[in-house]
Amino acid sequence: MNPSTLNPSQTHPSILLPSLSPLRTQRRRFRVSLPRCSSDTNNPTSSSSPPPPPKRPVKELNGIEILVDKLPAPARLATSAVWCEYVFSVIPPGGEDLKGDEVDRIVNFKNSLGLDDPDAAAVHMEIGRKLFRQRLEVGDREADVEQRRAFQKLIYVSNIVFGDASSFLLPWKRVFKVTESQVEVAIRDNAQRLYVSKLKSVGRGLTDSFLPDIDLGTLVTLRETQRLCRLSDELAGNLFREHVRKLVEENISVALGILKSRTRAATEVTQVVEELDKVLAFNDLLISFKNHSDIDRLARGVGPVSLVGGEYDGDRKMEDLKLLYRAYLSDALSYGRLEDNKLAALNKLKNVFGLGNRESEAISLDVTSKVYRKRLGQTVSSGELEMADSKAAFLQNLCEELHFDPQKASELHEEIYRQKLQQCVADGELNDADVAALLKLRVMLCVPQQTVEAAHADICGSLFEKIVKDAIGSGVDGYDAEVKKSVRKAAHGLRLTKETALSIASKAVRKVFIIYIKRARSAKNNNESAKELKRLIAFNTLVVTELVEDIKGESADVSTEEPVKEDITDITETEEGDWESLQSLRKIRPDKELIEKMGKPGQTEITLKDDLPERERTDLYKTFLNYCLTGYVVNIPFGAQITKKKDDTEYLYLNQLGGILGLTGKEIMDVHRGLAEQAFRQQAEVLLADGQLTKARVEQLGKLQTEIGLSQEYAQKIIKNITTTKMAAAIETAVTQGRLNMKQIRELKESNVDLDSMVSVSLREMLFKKTIGDIFSSGTGEFDAEEVYETIPLDLNINKEKARGVVRDLAQSRLSNSLIQAVALLRQRNHKGVVSSLNNLLACDKAVPSQTLSWEVSEELSDLYTIYLKSDPSPEKLNRLQYLLGINDSTAAALRESGDRLLNTAEEEKFVF
């Protein structure tokens, strides 16, 4: 057929040829080439005729294909047009989904017409152009969306029709300027819609019966459908799981609606359980399919039901799921026991709902506790529990029937016992009948004794604590006969042990004690602090002491026992003497006459020993002791003050304060001794200001010691400390200024002066270095190694190895300096100084033996040797000097012979001058 120019606006233009580019909106006229046979291809980018296609093998025709093949070209063109209309009619409009049979219908029709894939593909492309033109011609948004969806369905169906050849037979991206991702989206979305349409008929029986209409055949069919739809395994699995989740959500919603219905009857709980059983049956079926040996042939996503990502995936909906779980559990326990199959079902339901262990256990504990309590009440009422041979075995069996934790059961027994106890003490006391009933209940429920005691301490203790607070809150004037009666009734009527009652009272009393202590600490002066402490003592004597006696049931007779005798058991016999020597300590042990005058002492069982640190308790005691020692300061007119002395009754209060504070005898003695030492030290420092201890001063200090009552041992320690401190300062100054030598050091040590504590190590090392320097500059030429390396370091208590290093360094530096000094004195004609310097050189050489020394003027070395020779030295020193100066024996002999002449000549020259 010759090429012809067709108008694209006609109803059926060149069906097998490309048309208007989708990116251009205006209409144009195109020159198209019609194929002579169905094997011709077209070229949309060129206006000239394409090159002839390669010759293909002859195809065997049959049926309608033979008829079509015999048709002339115009008839064949008309037939192709009818084919285009058929395809267009098969693909649903934009608003409708694919039915799934479109591909088969198109393929069968194409085969019946005998069209080759390239010709058929051209028809599909032309349909795409038609849809695209319609999309450009529509004016509203909804129509545009429908045309786009229709175009996407065309892409999807065409790609399945032509299979792997679609990539080059259907140039969607080139012709319509769509991206690869847009083509993939079109295929994916339509595949998903088609697969979802197939899923809608799966599992519908779940809402009607316990056996959903899903089997292996259905799952195999779904797998085949997935492959035909070209849907990935991941998307297919997600869609299947989503479909299953929605089916289960329908059952859950039905069950929840029944459960929340205001007109719900008791029988409707069974319907809730039935709906949940359908879910569990469906879940079991899916799990069995997941474990199938031929799982690869089944639909993807088969497995346990999960509500994640659905309607019931959230904190708000989780509460609804908990209600359903609770309802299912309650129904399982409705017969008073939990069967194993129901327990397994509960675990599966927990997994389906996505409940955590803590959430499910909390629900189980709540529901099971109520059922257990109900069963327990029935067994108690019927006497079954009381008649049981073993109460523990009976209760254990009951827990096993309900799958109830025995530990939780024990806690429930304790709660029941506490409730019974609260009922019994409602009137403020426990009578014999109450005690018997509680004992019977305790035996039946196997409540441990310690649990019973704890319950009594808590419940009865709370009632008793209120009574105690009311009693002590009445103050020193309000603790009358009525209050005493109520305390005694509560202490004994509530069947509390004395230890428990005292413990409860102690807690309340100590809180009041602390209030007094805070007031005393915040007082503006010592007198005000003492007043608050006296109020504390009065409260303890008049209220707390009576309270303790009422709790213990003791008589109120006045006790004549000395209150501090039991408090001094922790002191030694030596320290016991301080109680008699220290005046303030003697006074806190009042005589019997004073005790009778003051009345009975305060109690010491409730103390603040564990409430306040020791330092704070001793400070409070010291505050009141100072008040007893100094008296009460009173302000008088014109700004003056007078001090009123107190009698010994204040010391009795001091003794009672020590008991309230929980101070031991040793702690009390330390406070008294500390104040005595402080007073003695203040006056002794005045007497020993210069650090000198004379006979007159010793007598004065002895008199002072007697007045204060301080023992000889502590007085001597203070005196020694003062003198030592003063002496240490003087010794340190002498060492620093170089006024102290080793002889004086040894004299001090012989006088038992502890130099190690008075003089620091650095100063002692400095003293050693100075001593060695004096040896090397003494001019004697002597060096005692044992003295230097052993004795002196020992006397100074310094490191011997470090001392050796000091000697070595000093000797090496002094040796060369001594030679230089000797030459200088030679030039000054100071022969005595020359001899002294050479002796220092020999002393350094003894400490650190040296090699022969060098000097530029050898005559001067000879003169040094001659001068030293005339000083009549020992042969050892002279020979060593000869070696050090580098003088050989012949020269030395000549110098010895001419020594007198040379010296005389020098004297004559000096005289002539």
DSSP 864-893: HHHHHHHT---HHHHHHHHHHHT--HHHHH
How many CB atoms are located within 10 Å of the residue 552 CB? 14
Mean predicted confidence (pLDDT) in 369-373: 93
Q: Are residues 510 and 654 in the same domain?
A: yes
Q: Which two tokens stand for residue 270?
A: 């069974």
Residue 32 lies in a domain: no
Per-residue pLDDT tens digits for 248-290:
999 999 999 988 887 666 667 888 999 999 999 999 999 999 8
Q: Of 35-49, 602-616, 783-797, give the lowest mean pLDDT range.
A: 35-49
Please tell me the predicted confidence (pLDDT) of residue 599. Answer: 60
User: What's the rounded Cα separation, in Å, for the pair 808 and 789?
Assistant: 11
Indicate if the alpha-carbon torsion angle 907, 911, 912, 913 is positive or negative: positive
Residue 804 lies in a domain: yes
Q: Name every residue whose Cβ is closer than 8 Å to that of residue 44 and which is 6 or more positions away in sequence.
A: 17, 18, 175
Q: Are residues 177 and 215 in the same domain?
A: no
Nearest to 153 by CA among 181, 187, 122: 187
How many CB atoms are located within 10 Å of the residue 56 CB? 9
Q: Which two tokens stand for residue 337?
A: 């026991």
Domain boundary among 663, 697, 729: 663
Mean predicted confidence (pLDDT) in 207-211: 51
User: What's the rounded Cα separation, in Å, for the pair 475 and 105?
Assistant: 105
Residue 110 lies in a domain: yes
Per-residue pLDDT tens digits for 69-93:
555 555 555 556 668 778 877 888 7
Residue 580 lies in a domain: no
Q: Are residues 68 and 148 in the same domain?
A: yes
Q: What percent of the chain stands above pLDDT 70? A: 76
Q: Which two tokens stand for residue 254?
A: 């039905």
Asked if 455 contacts 418 with a C-beta cutoff of 8 angstroms, the reply is yes
Q: Name every residue whose Cβ is closer than 8 Å to that of residue 544 and which is 6 or more positions away in sequence.
A: 472, 509, 602, 603, 606
Q: Are residues 142 and 246 in the same domain?
A: no
Q: Are residues 159 and 209 in the same domain?
A: no
Asked if 312 contacts 236 with a C-beta cutoff of 8 angstroms, the reply is no
Angle ∠(180,181,183) on CA atoms, nearest 5: 65
Mean predicted confidence (pLDDT) in 752-768: 76
Residue 398 lies in a domain: no
Q: Which two tokens stand for residue 556?
A: 């109120």
Give CA separation, 75 vs 5, 79, 555, 702, in Å: 19, 6, 135, 150
How many CB atoms are located within 10 Å of the residue 781 CB? 23
Residue 801 lies in a domain: yes
Q: Are residues 181 and 217 in the same domain?
A: no
Q: Are residues 190 and 226 in the same domain?
A: no
- Range among 20-29, 65-74, 375-384 with highest mean pLDDT value: 375-384
Q: Of 262-271, 387-396, 410-419, give the lowest mean pLDDT range.
A: 262-271
Nearest to 715 by CA among 676, 688, 751: 676
Q: Are residues 626 and 657 in the same domain?
A: yes
Q: How would you class 906 by CB atoms within 10 Å of its CB: exposed for 0-12, middle for 13-18, buried for 19 or more?
A: middle
Give CA separation, 662 vs 617, 623, 643, 773, in Å: 8, 16, 30, 63
Q: Of 82-96, 304-318, 655-669, 808-822, give the lowest mean pLDDT range.
A: 82-96
How many domains are contained in the chain?
Answer: 4
Per-residue pLDDT tens digits for 686-738:
776 765 555 676 677 777 777 666 767 777 677 667 766 766 676 677 777 77
Domain boundary among 355, 382, 401: 355
Say yes or no to pLDDT of 616 above 90.
yes
Say yes or no to pLDDT of 561 above 50.
no
What torsion, rounded to 10 degrees, do the Cα atoms 171, 177, 183, 189 define? -130
H or E segment and range at residue 453: helix 449-473
> What mean pLDDT is reported for the chain?
78
Overall residue count recorded for the chain in this entry: 913
pLDDT band per the 50, 70, 90 thresholds, residue 753: low
Say yes or no to pLDDT of 607 above 90.
yes
Q: Are residues 225 and 168 in the same domain?
A: no
Residue 235 lies in a domain: yes
Q: Are residues 794 and 852 in the same domain?
A: yes
3-class state of residue 32 by DSSP: strand
Q: Are residues 595 and 659 in the same domain?
A: yes
Q: Are residues 68 and 126 in the same domain?
A: yes
pLDDT band per the 50, 70, 90 thresholds, residue 126: confident
- Pairwise pLDDT comparison (6 vs 436), residue with the higher score: 436
Residue 3 lies in a domain: no
How many CB atoms are located within 10 Å of the residue 895 CB? 17
Asked if 294 contacts 233 with a C-beta cutoff of 8 angstroms, the reply is no
**Amino acid (1-letter code) at residue 626:** N
pLDDT band per the 50, 70, 90 thresholds, residue 506: very high
User: What's the rounded Cα separation, in Å, for the pair 834 and 109?
Assistant: 140
Say yes or no to pLDDT of 28 above 70.
no
3-class state of residue 211 by DSSP: coil
Indicate if the alpha-carbon torsion angle 667, 673, 674, 675 is positive or negative: positive
H or E segment and range at residue 813: helix 800-827
Indicate if the alpha-carbon torsion angle 544, 545, 548, 549 is positive or negative: negative
Domain extent for 87: 64-194
Q: What percent of the chain stands above pLDDT 90? A: 24
Domain boundary among 307, 338, 355: 355
Say yes or no to pLDDT of 50 above 50.
no
User: What's the rounded Cα separation, in Å, for the pair 428 and 422?
Assistant: 10
Q: Of 196-205, 613-622, 631-640, 709-718, give the lowest mean pLDDT range.
A: 631-640
